[in-house]
Amino acid sequence: MIEEKNIDKKNIVLEAIFDSENINKNIIKSKNIITEFLDKNKAFIYLGKKEKLDINLFKKTSNIIVNLKRDYQVDVSTFINKKLSEKIIVREITESYILKHGEVYNLKTSKKPKFKNITLVNLTKNGKNQFNISKNETKVRNWVRSLQTMPPNILNSIEYAKKLKNEFSNFKNVDVKVLKKDEIKKLKMGLLLGVNRGSEYEPRIVVVEYKGNPKSKEKIVYIGKGIMFDSGGYSLKPSLHIKGMKYDMSGTAIVAGAMKIIINNKPKVNVSIVMPLTDNMIGTKAQTVDSVQTSMSGKTVEINNTDAEGRLILADAITYSIRKLKATKIVDVATLTGAIVVALGAAYTGTWTTSKKDWDLVNDVAKLKGECLWRMPFNDKFIDGMKKSKIADLFNTNYSGYGGSSSSAAGFLKEFTENIPYIHFDIAGTASVNGVSTGVLVKTLAELANKI
């Protein structure tokens, strides 16, 4: 358990100690090593020169603190320097602890090992407020991570839609609806239906609407990519890349998590989330390369790669958001391209915006929440090759040789936005790292709703 309290003199207090002439000679002067003086209920973690401790170094320290084999009271005030505020220190320790030790979906039959307690002490009012914010946000992130982690033979599109409806039906001032296959057909969502053709399970679209300001016509719509498992279809993924494709629904879990926080925070804005759900599988009815599908918008798309399916279901979701929900700003979150992993690894989430104002806004919010974005370009050159189909308006993949696969995917989606302000996040590198779900962007998207 992690909590914040006043100091209990009977328990060990852990303080930061930095290099100085007056340092106790018995202190072990090796970074992130703890020296204990149990007769005084004191312990010190050595951190080198105080002016050099920054957020990146402190993340390592925080990870050590939350994995200690003894209960500690952590004196937050002793870690503060010009680069690290009390809020940052509280946030990093709290998030690290809950992400490490909180409940996340697991079917192991062995018992989970016990972990030690951390108590944050000497907090100001601001520090206590930050603790509560970080605790609540990170518990939601663990809910998101559980959804991401669930295996595709258990969490299919139908079961997921039921789970989401049950989750959000408990909230006031929130409307929830699930669009089934017949309704999706009536909406003429040919791109989503095309991707779904090979699946054992029908597609679903889950829509959740929070009406924080009913008098306003402004509405931000968050869209999450919900491919429950991505085999690549007939453009079959190789073995090394097909593993972990249960995470291809991460965008939906993330926007759902953000919505839970938004509902709890009660901002005076209108926010909706749209989550299209389907597998991308191989079968006798599965979509083939050279097929042509008609989108809800009316645009036709020639399929030249069945593994470029995420952009297809998102395109129909974007049109639905504009024409049915009357979105005035669209944000989508998707594990969209392997190319973004090559470009940015797990260090940054690739971000495209149609205006610099929106980029400045989301980047500032992400920095506030301790998340890292990198702005990527919209440029017509990336989609020129996608407009050269002889029988449709667009190809779904750019094979022109120009490169920039992540930007061409973003450009494809922009073709469906009808000039509505648009923000696109490609989380293929950040949604899961080394087979561990992250719940990336949940807190940033929740905070963004407060700033719109």
Cα–chain-centroid distance for residue 208? 18
Catalytic annotation, pick one of 100, 237, 326, 375: 237
Whether 417 contacts 411, CB under 8 Å? no
Cα atoms found within 13 Å of the Cα of residue 117, Cβ hemisphere only: 10
| CA separation, residue 385 to residues 188, 255, 381 (Å) | 26, 31, 8
What is the token pair recorded at 411?
């450009």
What number of other Cβ atoms are within 10 A of residue 434's Cβ? 6
> Exposed, middle or buried: residue 443 (CB in 10 Å: 0-12, 13-18, 19+)?
buried
Whether 331 contacts 220, CB under 8 Å? yes
Q: Is the Cα dihedral 230, 209, 430, 426 positive or negative?
A: positive
End-to-end CA distance of the chain, in Å?
35
Note if 311 is an active site residue: yes
Cα atoms found within 13 Å of the Cα of residue 171, Cβ hemisphere only: 22
Encode 257-318 in three state secondary structure.
Answer: HHHHHHHHHCCCCEEEEEEEEEEECCCCCCCCCCCEEECCCCCEEECCCCCCCHHHHHHHHH
Q: Specify the residue for token string 């990170």.
A: 138
The Cα 116–Cα 10 span in angstroms is: 16
Cα–chain-centroid distance for residue 5? 31
Catalytic annotation, pick one of 225, 311, 329, 443: 311
Note if 237 is an active site residue: yes
Q: Is the Cα dihedral 428, 434, 437, 438 positive or negative?
A: negative
Whether 210 contacts 259, CB under 8 Å? yes
Q: Considering only CA atoms, which of 330, 377, 369 is closest in space to residue 350?
A: 377
Active site residues: 237, 311
